[in-house]
Amino acid sequence: MLRRALLVVFLLPMLACQEAPELPPIVLSDPRGLDAEVLELVATKVEAVRAAPTSAGSRASLGLVYEANGIWDLGAASFAQAAALDERQPLYRYHEALCLREAGETDKALATMKAAARRLENQAGVQQRLGQWLLELGEYEEARQCFERALARMPDHSDVLAGLASVEVERQRWNEAQSLAKRSLKVDPSNRSARYALGMALRGLGREEEARAQLTAGQGAKPRWIEEPLTREFLSYRLTTSGLMEDAAAAAAGGNHGRAAELYSVVARRQPDDATLKNNWAASLTELGRYEESERVLKEALALDPGLFAVELNLCDLYTRMNQLEPARVHGEKAVALGADVGRTHLALARVVALQGDYARAYAQLELSVGLDARNVQAYVALTETAVRLRRFADARNWCRKVLELDSGHVPTRVNLALLSIQENDLEEAKRQLLECEKQAPEMPKVKAIREELKRRGVL
């Protein structure tokens, strides 16, 4: 009797294995058009699945490779297998939803995403993603709840606040949207989504002139996704040329020039004759202070395409930073000649000639720059400084006002306008600017000094 019992016990695992037949890995049926690096990585991951067919993690890694390189249908299928093997890991369903949406199965993607998000309430990145989907679908209350859950996990996160601001814009709650967008920009002034939401809120409040500046600054805004536990593995598998270029551009736009330079270097090895690519790579190298490398790459780009004004522009910027003003001026002149209708070329040349003491030429170039690009705050700031150098104080005050039209939170310009107004004995204007400065930077030494000066003059 005991032997029969033991036999039943030993048979149970065998029967269980028979009830769960081995799933074959999801494989590519048509590899055409894929980079060799992608095919090699896929092959490695497929072999890992075959070596450990019951490992959910191996199938999820294969799914991440497909997802990272835009092979959406196979990614979804691989994540579905991973989730079937281990339903305790809802992140597999989350990534399945991402792939399904990109593959065009939007209804199934949303249902899968909602199911995953219910089990991942503590993952801010998951809640942010679902919130954005729901916002785009017009389900504003559910979207708000998702962003609120994300904010509870990551208080004052700029991108979550921007998402909430966008929800309030759609609900036409203009004051709430304005407040949230300003909170977002206080954390990250470069957040384009927050700029756009602020512009829409200001427009809703009837402040059209202020709104236009913010809407222009927010043009081309895209959501920036918060990381979740599989994000870094996902990014490490992104090997298609288009994907690497997209990631490099996003990294550069976000100020992560180390990552951008690394990615551009990978693509440059695949496309050594692409002058624009080399120019973008060099720009990130310059931001990192790797001037010799940047100079080498820019000269390679110039040899490939001597007519590309952006290369001359970046050479001008590079030599300006290296304090080699003569070559900077030469390349600045060439940039202007090749890109006369681009405001940035005139701004770059203006900076060089100003450093050489030619303020009249600098002023003329800056006026050309703003005539071509009326939304470039940096050009108006430079005009203010150059006008002061030329003792054109009334003009300097007008340029300050232009900066503040475009960016009302530009405290250094408010300080300068207050100081210029004191110099011109316009004490009421100075007082107005001081009060605004004290709202934004009350501890700034120059702000305190202006207060003391206006007290001394009996204005306060």
The per-residue DSSP string of 231-273 comes to HHHHHHT--SHHHHHHHHHHHHHTT-HHHHHHHHHHHHHH-TT
Token duo for residue 2 = 């005991």
* Inter-residue contact 406 to 377 (CB < 8 Å): yes
* Inter-residue contact 413 to 442 (CB < 8 Å): no
Reduced to 3 DSSP states, what percent helix, strand and coil does the chain have, rounded to the nearest 5? Answer: 75, 0, 25
Question: What single string gives the DSSP state of each residue in 266-330?
Answer: HHHHH-TT-HHHHHHHHHHHHHTT-HHHHHHHHHHHHHH-TT-HHHHHHHHHHHHHTT-HHHHHH
* Inter-residue contact 312 to 331 (CB < 8 Å): yes
Instruction: Count Cα neighbours of 401 within 13 Å in the Cβ-side half-sphere.
Output: 12
pLDDT in the model for residue 32: 85
165 membership: H or E segment, kind and range: helix 158-170
The C-alpha atoms of residue 324 and residue 46 are separated, in whole angstroms, by 54
* Inter-residue contact 194 to 163 (CB < 8 Å): no
The C-alpha atoms of residue 240 and residue 260 are separated, in whole angstroms, by 15
* Inter-residue contact 125 to 226 (CB < 8 Å): yes
From first to last of its 460 residues, the chain has per-residue pLDDT tens of 333 333 333 333 443 444 445 789 999 988 888 888 999 999 999 999 999 999 999 999 999 999 999 999 999 999 999 999 999 999 999 999 999 999 999 999 999 999 999 999 999 999 999 999 999 999 999 999 999 999 999 999 999 999 999 999 999 999 999 999 999 999 998 899 999 999 999 999 998 888 888 898 888 888 999 999 999 999 999 998 988 999 999 899 888 999 999 999 999 999 999 999 999 999 999 999 999 999 999 999 999 999 999 999 999 999 999 999 999 999 999 999 999 999 999 999 999 999 999 999 999 999 999 999 998 999 999 999 999 999 999 999 999 999 998 888 899 999 999 999 999 999 999 999 999 999 888 999 999 999 999 999 998 8
Place of tokens 């590309």: 308
* Inter-residue contact 51 to 34 (CB < 8 Å): no
pLDDT in the model for residue 4: 36
pLDDT in the model for residue 271: 94
Q: 149-163: b or e for each residue (b if 16 or more CB lie within 10 Å)?
A: bbbebbeebbbbbbb
The C-alpha atoms of residue 261 and residue 253 are separated, in whole angstroms, by 12
pTM of the model: 0.75
pLDDT in the model for residue 298: 98
Place of tokens 């003009």: 395
pLDDT in the model for residue 21: 59
pLDDT in the model for residue 216: 84
